[in-house]
Amino acid sequence: MMNSPENNEDEEKLAECPASSEEAGRSSVCEGCPGQTLCRMQGGPDPDQEIIDVRMGAIKHKILILSGKGGVGKSTVAYLLSLALAKCQSSKVGVVDLDICGPSIPKLLGVENQPIIQTPYGWKPLVSPNGDIKVMSVASLLDSDKTSVIFRGPRKTGLIKRFLKDTFWGKLDFLICDTPPGTSDEHMSIVKLLKNAKPDGAVLVTTPQEVAMATMRKELSFCKKMGVTVLGLVENMSGLVCPCCKETTEIFPGSGVASLAESYGVPVLGSIPMDPMITECCESGRDPMENYPESPTVRSMMGISNHLISLINR
């Protein structure tokens, strides 16, 4: 089926989208776009950018964790990756939870219900008992874990900026940025705010079935348009680990991530099977690296972290 002239015109405008430039919301191609007002508010010089650059300049590597859709275990991968990186070469790691409406990092890293302390140097991030990982999340700023966050785009952007500008991260080897699903306000904001700090790129998380592959293609397109380097793809839930015999059984048919990565020319960092023992650690905030080092999930995650380190250090 051929595209109509109207569809071709829309695709041409999308290809020329200036969202990451100072022309955001002001260019002629922005006319009629529902996000024009938000982009105009975010465009132009940011008076807070200098202090953000100073804060982020003390961090060697900044890595975005992205996914095309929800439910693929992106936050779990961010959690496991932070633990694996902290274990590799005794790296100093921080995790910033950019999922403003659905934060889960504090529970995963065992710091939920702990308040953020304001110091003369800025917000003091929480420290996970597992791996001494620094954590910042909107969940730690709420009165209750039942409180919903009902923010429009500009307020989300302002909070993300504060996570970078007002948090006393100190010197870190890695800052893992756990984003919500999709390609929306949070993603555009973090890419723009980290532009001068030169983030290493993004790790894209998906599951093997085609319904997830379809949205992953949109995420790859987003990275290309926004100038974000794709460090690699991670196939999560690639199989189920038997709690008795530890054999892994595939639960999704098809070639999965490998064919997608080949078509886009990006590497596959690894595949992560589901292990019920690791799931229990996620629910209780315990460190799976220490409790179940022989788990196929842990071994896969350590391999992914080593692969990632080799890519960003070459």
For the chain of 314 residues, list the mean pLDDT of each consecutive stretch of 10. 44 55 75 70 74 96 94 94 91 96 92 91 93 92 81 88 96 97 90 94 92 88 94 92 82 76 94 92 87 93 95 88
Question: Residue 29: inside a domain, yes or no?
Answer: no
CB 181 within 8 A of CB 74: yes
Question: Residue 215: inside a domain, yes or no?
Answer: yes
Per DSSP (E only), the strands in the chain are 59-67, 93-97, 117-119, 122-124, 126-127, 134-137, 172-178, 201-206, 230-241, 248-249, 268-274
Distances (CA, A) of 182 to 19, 90, 185, 220: 16, 32, 9, 11
Question: Residue 221: inside a domain, yes or no?
Answer: yes
- Neighbour tally for 41: CB within 10 Å: 13
Query: What pLDDT, on the 0 to 100 scale, is given for residue 274?
Result: 92
CB 66 within 8 A of CB 78: no
Question: Residue 280: inside a domain, yes or no?
Answer: yes
Residue with tokens 């790296």: 91
Query: What pLDDT, on the 0 to 100 scale, is given for residue 42?
Result: 63
| Residues of the domain holding 76 | 35-313
Domain count, the chain: 1
CA–CA separation, 71 and 60 (whole Å): 30
Instruction: Output the pTM of the full model.
Output: 0.85
Question: Residue 11: inside a domain, yes or no?
Answer: no
Query: What pLDDT, on the 0 to 100 scale, is given for residue 39?
Result: 72
Selection from 181, 161, 175, 160 nearest residue 102 by Cα: 181
Which amino acid is it at 101? C
Query: What pLDDT, on the 0 to 100 scale, is given for residue 147?
Result: 83
Question: Residue 3: inside a domain, yes or no?
Answer: no
CA–CA separation, 53 and 171 (whole Å): 13
Local structure of residue 168 (DSSP, 8 states) = -
Query: What pLDDT, on the 0 to 100 scale, is given for residue 41?
Result: 67
Which CATH number does the domain housing residue 278 bear? Answer: 3.40.50.300
Query: What pLDDT, on the 0 to 100 scale, is given for residue 34?
Result: 61
Strands 126-127, 134-137: parallel, antiparallel or unpaired by DSSP? antiparallel
Question: Residue 14: inside a domain, yes or no?
Answer: no
Cross-strand pairs, 97 = 137, 178
Instruction: Please provide residue 272's backbone torsions phi and psi, each rounded to the nearest 5 degrees.
Output: -120, 115
Question: Residue 27: inside a domain, yes or no?
Answer: no
Instruction: Please provide residue 311's backbone torsions phi and psi, each rounded to the nearest 5 degrees.
Output: -70, -45
